[in-house]
Structure 1
Amino acid sequence: MIVPAVLTTESTLTCAHGFAVSAGSSSRLRVGGKAVLLADLAGQSIDCRLPDDPNTSTKHCTKVAQVSAGESSKLTVGSVSVLLDVVAGLSDGTPPPTGPPLLPAVAQQAKLRAAVAP
């Protein structure tokens, strides 16, 4: 069984259109000098430059709407789970009722791994 890698501020996390999530972290836990990302990712901004289309009512992604998977069940910082490279979630882009999914994350580090929450 492959244990997922912990995401840090150096990790790559993007919206479905391939634009970066601006994932900051106030975590004191660091891997390779970079702060780990915590499960409170919802609300982080997305630098999606896809144009809105008024003809189809589509709207580009501006923030992470929710995280639905990829939280560690064992590793926490201040009672908040760290995020793993198996993270899944949605952006606030449209079409409704839910935004496009986030693309698979790339951890950019292999030193720290943790179990996934069931």
Structure 2
Amino acid sequence: MAKVLISSSTVSCPAQGKVTPTGRPRLTVDGVPVVRLDGISGKTVSGCTTPTDPNTSSVQCQTVASVGNAAGKLTVDGAGVALDTSTGSTNGSQPTLSFTAGQNKLTAV
């Protein structure tokens, strides 16, 4: 089973950029709000170390372009929660996001 993401979970690009997810307080794990996909989509990526270089088509990650694969059964306010198995990409040249739940009490499918 996949672990549910919370607002203190780690969402990052391959070049050390970080995304701060926004949680929904209706469901919490140890008092920390659980995150839906809309709490990640469109967010700013900060600290990406990929240099923007027009000569090499290298582009620094700046925003989350897409996120997918929410939980099918566990929902908050009608939408599936984000999981450590969710998928996502940024607008940068190293676009793949990785997700680490940072908790192991709540899992979902």
Cα distance in 2 for residues equivalent to 1:4 and 1:80? 16
- Which residues in structure 2 correspond to 1:16-95 (within 5 Å)? 16-40=14-38, 41-47=40-46, 48-69=48-69, 71-94=70-93
Q: Using the TM superposition, give the Cα deviation of residue 75 of structure 1 relative to its aligned residue in structure 2, in angstroms.
A: 0.7
Q: Choose between structure 1 and 2: higher strand proportion.
A: 2
For normalisation by structure 2, the TM-score amounts to: 0.88
Structure 2 residue ranges without an equivalent (≥5): none
Work out the number of aligned pairs and report it.
Answer: 107
For normalisation by structure 1, the TM-score amounts to: 0.82
**C-alpha root-mean-square deviation of aligned residues, in Å?**
1.5
Q: Using the TM superposition, give the Cα deviation of residue 45 of structure 1 relative to its aligned residue in structure 2, in angstroms.
A: 1.1
3-state secondary structure, aligned to 1:72: coil
**Correspondence for 1:102:** 97
Kept in 1, the 8 Å contact 2:24–2:76? The answer is: no
Cα distance in 2 for residues equivalent to 1:34 and 1:60? 30
Structure 1 residue ranges without an equivalent (≥5): none
Cα distance in 2 for residues equivalent to 1:20 and 1:79? 27
**Correspondence for 2:4:** 6
AA aligned to 2:74 is L
Cα distance in 2 for residues equivalent to 1:27 and 1:66? 23
Q: Find the partner of 2:108 among 105, 111, 114.
A: 114
Q: Using the TM superposition, give the Cα deviation of residue 81 of structure 1 relative to its aligned residue in structure 2, in angstroms.
A: 0.9
Render the CA deviation track for 1:40-97: whole Å, top value 9, x for unaligned: 121011102432112112211111101133x100011111110011111111113xxx
